[in-house]
Structure 1
């Protein structure tokens, strides 16, 4: 039976929106003639925002809403909506107190609400809505950052999400998509180790060192605390509830300059936590993985400034002993400024393949046989094809119609589910 279309309007989100309106929107709307041309929805707050920024205090905020309708296949014919609101403030200690090492303090609060199209409608592993998960208000960052000893060395420490600095492409090319399989970092990292997805944050330290103008080394160490992930009772607790170990990512970054710029990342991570070996009662000591990420410009228009075509690639492999999600492959292209009169629009096409761990498949098959059930004849992976158009309606508002075709949605659950066609719309607004 199909489920009805549900919208979720919790009180916490209403309070957040009212607070935002009271503190930011009203001063801006005193002169709303530039609503369609200002860089943010709430404007300059009657000059206060610019004044605070010059003094070293920068406020930020954004909203994303994602609606997905399952038009064919999957489990049910219906739609789901999810949303994320992020509010932050950064303190530039150089401007505020005259410090000379680019000292900054970042405070960020995050709120998520809604329902999952993947869980309710399709039954697949890769989240159709990248902003779904951890449906409560939480602290997502309280960090201190500065250069140390030399301008080439930058250190950040505190309570923060790993993916803010590691595991994704700095260019942001991957978030021209709505599916979490593309937007962010490869999901098998968090599926098979203590690497955590945003907005889950943990205590940690991150170091960046510029080896040259083109090469950079990034190293970090984060506390692993699975009991705090997605736990609303830990939303404002910086300290861990139950540490199991430390996850250490190492990333080498190369940024190609020139007419056809590119970004290349080669990474490795190790989690010292003990974990249960899939298909066994024994534990494996430590989990690891590696990844390669690429964003390369293929073409720049000589006739139209800003029009370019970029290709991206992703490869990630996780622990074969303890990760249910062993390998991820992703490739695609993004065309920037597809039309001369639309300088900030994009067209994005991507293909991804998520490969379940054969150990997990064996466990599912053994359980089916033990219960006298037939195990479906599935292929080896969940596959995703996604096409989106990013329409920059105003400098602060992006509308992104989106189509996703999901092949073998039941690859990870061991169920026979028809391929699904999902129609979506992502709305992003900068406050």
Structure 2
């Protein structure tokens, strides 16, 4: 429950599942007094689209219930970000970007009264976006977005993101979803990551790679999700892989160029520590294999160095990731966001064909750290991004030959680092103000552009 008594609604397809076997796996190794799972099944809402603690128009509660009872539910939300570069970068200035999102769910069984459609749900997500990207305009950064909601699709009136069918089988022990989906709404994500701007909806090391379709870029595919034991969840699927910038409207499905398939798999361990405090943790081990054939990032080799470089073969891309968050104290309720968390993660991509070969991040998301403000949330995250050694080598060879190193590249690229901090303030039910601070080290992954300091305001609102 939220502080205003509103139930947290999980965003499908990540609702709770029943376990195949009513036992623990890894959690069984814990001290019996520290393992709350031994008393009861504590699965609870964790993945939510926005923590706005209610709705701006409570008068719609009864109409919403009437529609939901008949098989239709929706959420209309606004997210706006005004972020200014106040020091460093290429120049000072501010950009604004916003997103209006309509999330819908159709209970096909209730709507049609057809027995054969019982338990089938149709989900749809429609997005309107407008604005400009502060990373490009003022910081001089082209690979890491410092404003979340203006990215792949750019300004668009009605971008179709996810549209897919969902069904659970075997007494809610197996769940499938199939259609046009965003991988990073299902894999390598969490609501905690999406309280941050830079790492939403997945870490940069994942979402920056072609093949990992990142919101609002959906692709054809499907996922099957099972829960073998009460503390483990396994998900895997098959998705079409292609260029992330294809089909910016979301409607031109025939215009997409598919280069292969993405095969993701993720195992999540969800323990609850302590029979009294019941502190949840989420520990994820994931892997994705993209069968697409990618050029070696060394790129164009000057004639005088071709003998040294040798033959450059094309490769598929693999991504490994580990992500963890652990609640360290509970405050303000029983749901899984009611407390303070520590976060950490590591991502590794095939270096020869991935712009970022590695990423490491650590952070915290703390609830109610200021007296008499129990529902404010403070977040802080540091992240390090390592550029591919192949990309750097190719740029260095072209620089020595007096050739262009590539668009927006002013020196061989090595790495970047980012710091992000926010303070989320629930103003009224359905409205959150979130001041943000960002500091980017080595914009453009070089030392040519001064480190950038950014500040701004993020606003979340739900109808």
Shorter chain as denominator, the TM-score bin is 0.7 to 0.9
- Residues 16-71 of structure 1: per-residue CA shift (max 9 Å, x gap): xxxxxxxxxxxxxxxxxxxxx99222334383222101212101111111111111
SS of the residue aligned with 1:236?
Answer: coil
1:211 aligned partner? 228
Structure 2 stretches lacking a partner, 5+ long: 1-51, 301-311
Deviates more, 1:330-339 or 1:214-223: 330-339
The TM-score normalised by the length of structure 2 is: 0.78
Q: 1:288 to 1:95 in 2, by over 3 A?
A: same
Answer yes or no: is the 8 Å Cα contact 1:307–1:335 preserved in 2: no
1:69 aligned to which of 56, 79, 84: 84
**Matched residues in 1 for 2:93 and 2:332: separation?**
45
2:399 aligned to which of 350, 364, 368: 368
Q: 1:303 to 1:271 in 2, by over 3 A?
A: closer
Deviates more, 1:92-101 or 1:308-317: 92-101
2:329 aligned to which of 261, 277, 299: 299
In the alignment, does 2:439 pair up with 1:421?
Answer: no
* Count of residue pairs brought into register by the alignment: 387
- Residues 139-160 of structure 1: per-residue CA shift (max 9 Å, x gap): 1121110112442100000011
Q: 1:151 to 1:300 in 2, by over 3 A?
A: closer
Q: 1:147 to 1:424 in 2, by over 3 A?
A: same
SS of the residue aligned with 2:73?
Answer: strand
Structure 1 stretches lacking a partner, 5+ long: 1-36
SS of the residue aligned with 1:53?
Answer: helix
**Matched residues in 1 for 2:412 and 2:245: separation?**
31
In the alignment, does 2:340 pair up with 1:309?
Answer: yes
1:45 aligned partner? 60
In the alignment, does 2:245 pair up with 1:229?
Answer: yes
SS of the residue aligned with 1:261?
Answer: strand
In the alignment, does 2:142 pair up with 1:127?
Answer: no
1:352 aligned partner? 383
1:166 aligned to which of 172, 179, 187: 187
Q: 1:324 to 1:336 in 2, by over 3 A?
A: same
In the alignment, does 2:214 pair up with 1:197?
Answer: yes
2:104 aligned to which of 71, 89, 109: 89
- Residues 176-215 of structure 1: per-residue CA shift (max 9 Å, x gap): 2222xx2221222243441121100111111100111110
**Matched residues in 2 for 1:244 and 1:377: separation?**
31
**Matched residues in 2 for 1:349 and 1:38: separation?**
21
Answer yes or no: is the 8 Å Cα contact 2:101–2:127 preserved in 1: yes
1:151 aligned partner? 172
**Matched residues in 2 for 1:354 and 1:161: separation?**
23
**Matched residues in 2 for 1:116 and 1:246: separation?**
30
The TM-score normalised by the length of structure 1 is: 0.83
CA drift of 1:94 comes to 4.2
CA drift of 1:301 comes to 5.8
Answer yes or no: is the 8 Å Cα contact 1:44–1:50 preserved in 2: no
CA drift of 1:340 comes to 4.9
In the alignment, does 2:355 pair up with 1:334?
Answer: no
In the alignment, does 2:160 pair up with 1:139?
Answer: yes
SS of the residue aligned with 1:195?
Answer: coil
1:324 aligned partner? 355
Superposed CA RMSD in Å reads 2.7
**Matched residues in 2 for 1:347 and 1:293: separation?**
20
**Matched residues in 2 for 1:418 and 1:378: separation?**
16
In the alignment, does 2:308 pair up with 1:287?
Answer: no
Deviates more, 1:121-130 or 1:74-83: 121-130
- Residues 100-131 of structure 1: per-residue CA shift (max 9 Å, x gap): 86321111111221101101111223211111
Answer yes or no: is the 8 Å Cα contact 1:304–1:340 preserved in 2: no
Answer yes or no: is the 8 Å Cα contact 2:125–2:161 preserved in 1: yes
Q: 1:373 to 1:267 in 2, by over 3 A?
A: closer
Answer yes or no: is the 8 Å Cα contact 1:101–1:147 preserved in 2: no
**Matched residues in 2 for 1:147 and 1:251: separation?**
19
Answer yes or no: is the 8 Å Cα contact 1:176–1:346 preserved in 2: no
Answer yes or no: is the 8 Å Cα contact 2:224–2:236 preserved in 1: yes
